[in-house]
Amino acid sequence: MVKMVARTARRRGGGPGAAVLAAFTIGTACGRDLTSLDPATFPPEAEIFYDDFGPGLHYSAFGGSKVDALDIERDEVYRGTAALRFTVPAPSDPSGGFAGGAFFSEVARDLSGFDALTFWARASTAATLDRVGIGNDNSGTSRFPAKFDNLSLSTRWTKYALPLPLPSVLTEERGLFLVADASEYEVGYDLYFDDVQFERLGTIINPRPVIPSRTVSGEVGGTLTVGGTQVIFDVNGTDVTVDAAPSYFTFTSSNPTVASVMPDGSISLVRPGTATITAMLGSTPAAGALTVNIDSPPSDVPPVPTVPAEDVISLFSDAYDDVHVDTWSAEWDQADVADVVLAGNPVKKYSNLAFAGIEFTSSLIDATSMTHLHVDLWTNDASDFRIKLVDFGADGAFGGGDDREHEITVGPGSTPSIAPRSWNTLDLPLDAFGGLGTRGHLAQLIISGASPTVYLDNIFFFRTETPDPPDPTDPPEPAPSPTDAAADVISLFSDAYTDVAVDTWSAEWDAADVEDVAIAGNVAKKYTNLVFAGIELTSQTLDASGMSHFRMDIWTPNETAGAAFKVKLVDFGANGIYDGGGDDSEHEVTLRAADGLATGEWVRLDLPLSDFTGLAAREHLAQLILSGDLNTVYVDNAYFRRPAAEAARARPTRSINRDPIGEKP
C-alpha cells in the first residue's frame, strides 16, 4: 500500500481559511432536515456510499494508519440505515498514527459528467479533517489526484462539495474518495460520512488554474517537476482552492530544445539555456510560470592542493589520506549525494540541495592546531553558499549542553568570493567561525545555499606555516589538567569531570559579563567587567560536607600588585532558600599577590573549606561569588575535592598554589 502523510497544518476558524471552509459547505442539518437541499439526480456510477458501498467499490487503508479505523455505523446516520464511521486514534494509540484510506472501484468510472464530489459529514467533537480528495486509488500510479486539506467539521451533519478540477479528463477513474485524519487532541474521536457521491451541481463556476511562479535550476540530462498546481473555484460566491495534480494541466515550453515538459508535469533538461513553462487547464490559461535555467556539469577539475600532508586533516581529497566520515548525507538532511568522476577525479555531487549534513560523530575531529578549512566548490548559482561547523563539546554528544556551532556565508561579494559555473577555491580561516568557541570535538559540517546542485572536492582542515600569534591578553595555553580522582570530586566546571547542574554563571543581580571561550580546544569561563559575579546552584543545592577543599584555576591579564581577588561561598541552610537570615550562612576569602595571585599565569586556588569559618554548614551550598579588583578573569577547573584515601588523615593546610603554565599539578 502507498503510505500517505496524513498530518497537515491546522487552519482555525476566524483566519484566512474560514471563508474557504464556509464556501466548501453546502448546507447543514440537524437530524434529517432536507429542506435546504434540492433532491439530487444520481446518474449511473455516481454512488460511493449510501447505505452500503457502491457497485464494485473497495476500501484500502493507507500505510501507517489504523487499519481497522473504518466501520459501518448503524445509529449515527444522516439518512437511511447506515453511514461510514472512521475512528481517529489518539496520538499514543499503538495501532496506527492516523485514520485514512482510499475508496476505489474495480472497474474504472466515467466521471466527466459531474462537477463535484459531495458528502454529508459530522464529527463526535469539533475537529479539523486533515485531508479529503479524489483520484487516489492507493496503487501508487494514480494520475489525477485532487485534494482539499484542513476541512472544519462540527457535531452537526453538514453537506460538503469538492470541485473536480477538470471533469473532462476523468473518463477512466478508479480512485473515487479518500479520507485521512490524525487527532489534534490527546484523545481520539469519530468521523461520520453519509451519502457520498458524485453530482453535477451547476453552482461551481469560474475555474482559475494556478502554477507557482518561481525559478529553478538543473543540469543537462536531469529532470524537474512542476509542483504546487491548484485550481480556484467560485462556489456559491466564495473562492475554494483545490490542490490538483499536474496531470490535469497541459504544459507548454517556450524552448523545447532546452526543456521539454511531459503530460505529468515532469520536465526533461535537454541542453544549456533558459525556458519558461506555462500551462492551461482545458481551455483556461493558468496564472504563473516556471522559469527553468539549465547548465552543463563541470568540464574540468579543481587544482591539486599543495599543502604538506603533515599540516592537513582531510575529509575528502585524492591528495591526502582521509579520516573516517560516517555519512556525506545524514538521515535528517534534505539533499541527495553521489560520487561522480570528472576527468578521472572523484568529486561529491549534491543535488536537490536544501541542506546537507556531513557527519563524523563516531570519530570526532580535533582541529585545534588547524587554522583553515579548505573546500573546492562548483555551483550554478553563486549568490549564496553556507558552511556550518558544529562541535559537540567534551562530552562528544549532541545536546549535551556544551555544543557549539557557527555558520558563514560566501557569495560574489564576500572574501573569499565565489563565481558561478567554475571551480572556486575557498580557504576559510577557522577564526571566522567565531561562535564555535572550541574546535577540539568537531562532529558535523553542514552545507546549504541557493543552488540545488553543487560539486565539492578537496575538503580538509589545514594549518599555515606561521599561524597568527595569540592575543597577549588571553591565556596562550589552557589551565593544567587536574589529577584528582573523579570519585573524590564534585565538579562545577571542568573538562576533566562530569559537572553538576549550575543554574547560571552570571546571576541577574551581579555586575559582570561571562562567556565561554576556547583555549587550544579547552573551554574556559571568561569574566569581563568584573565587579562581582554570582554563580548559582539554587535549584539543586550542593552537599559538600564530604569535601575538604575548593579548587579553581584562574588567569588574569590585569596587574595583581596591590589587587585583591575574593571567593565567597553561601549556604542556604536546611530550608534550601535564601531568606536573609535564619539558617543562611556565608564566608569570603581574600587573595592577594602575597598569597600567589599573579598576572599572565594560571594560578591554582586550593582553598581548605575550613578557612571559610563563617560558613556554618556546607550541606546546602547555593552560591559561589567572585569579586575583587581584577576586571578580566579566566576560570577553569572549578570543583570541590577531598584528599585521596591514603592522604585523608593528613591535616589540611591553607594553600594557594601557583603553578607555571605547562607544569603538572
Render pLDDT for 283-303 as a digit per residue (tens, 0 to 9).
Answer: 999 999 999 988 888 989 999
Domain final position from 407, 428, 462: 462
Instruction: Indicate whether 442 belongs to any domain.
Output: yes
Asked whether residue 60 falls in the same domain as residue 192, the answer is yes
Asked whether residue 511 falls in the same domain as residue 540, the answer is yes
Asked whether residue 183 falls in the same domain as residue 290, the answer is no
Q: What pLDDT shows up at residue 650?
A: 33
Total structural domains within the chain = 4
Per-residue pLDDT reduced to its tens digit, 549-569: 999 999 999 988 888 999 999
Burial class (CB in 10 A: 0-12, 13-18, 19+), 578: middle
Strand partners, 53: 49
Range of the domain at 88: 17-202
Residue in this structure with the C-alpha cell 482552492, named with its chain if needed: 241
CATH no. for residue 564?
2.60.120.430
Q: What pLDDT shows up at residue 11?
A: 28
CATH no. for residue 226?
2.60.40.10
Instruction: Indicate whether 652 belongs to any domain.
Output: no
Asked whether residue 35 falls in the same domain as residue 83, the answer is yes
Question: Got the DSSP string for 414-438?
Answer: SSS---TTSEEEEEEEGGG-GGG--
Share of the chain above pLDDT 70, in %: 89
Per-residue pLDDT reduced to its tens digit, 391-413: 998 888 888 788 899 999 999 98
Instruction: Indicate whether 481 belongs to any domain.
Output: no
Asked whether residue 162 falls in the same domain as residue 223, the answer is no
Asked whether residue 253 falls in the same domain as residue 317, the answer is no
Average pLDDT value for residue range 632-661: 62
Per-residue pLDDT reduced to its tens digit, 331-368: 999 999 999 999 999 999 998 889 999 999 999 999 99
Gap between the Cα atoms of 391 and 405, Å rounded: 6
Instruction: Indicate whether 641 belongs to any domain.
Output: yes
Asked whether residue 224 falls in the same domain as residue 364, the answer is no
Instruction: Indicate whether 173 belongs to any domain.
Output: yes
Q: What pLDDT shows up at residue 435?
A: 86
pLDDT of 23 over the 80 cut: no
Task: Write the CB contacts of 175 (distance below 8 Å, at least 6 apart in sequence).
Answer: 102, 103, 104, 134, 135, 136, 137, 138, 142, 144, 145
Residue in this structure with the C-alpha cell 550562612, named with its chain if needed: 585
Asked whether residue 260 falls in the same domain as residue 409, the answer is no
The mean pLDDT of the chain is 88
Gap between the Cα atoms of 372 and 520, Å rounded: 15
pLDDT of 544 over the 90 cut: yes
Asked whether residue 245 falls in the same domain as residue 155, the answer is no
Gap between the Cα atoms of 152 and 128, Å rounded: 4
pLDDT of 130 over the 90 cut: yes
pLDDT of 258 over the 90 cut: yes
Asked whether residue 227 falls in the same domain as residue 283, the answer is yes
Length of the chain equals 665
Instruction: Indicate whether 599 belongs to any domain.
Output: yes
Instruction: Indicate whether 475 belongs to any domain.
Output: no
Instruction: Indicate whether 103 belongs to any domain.
Output: yes
- HSE, side-chain direction, 13 A CA sphere, residue 367: 35
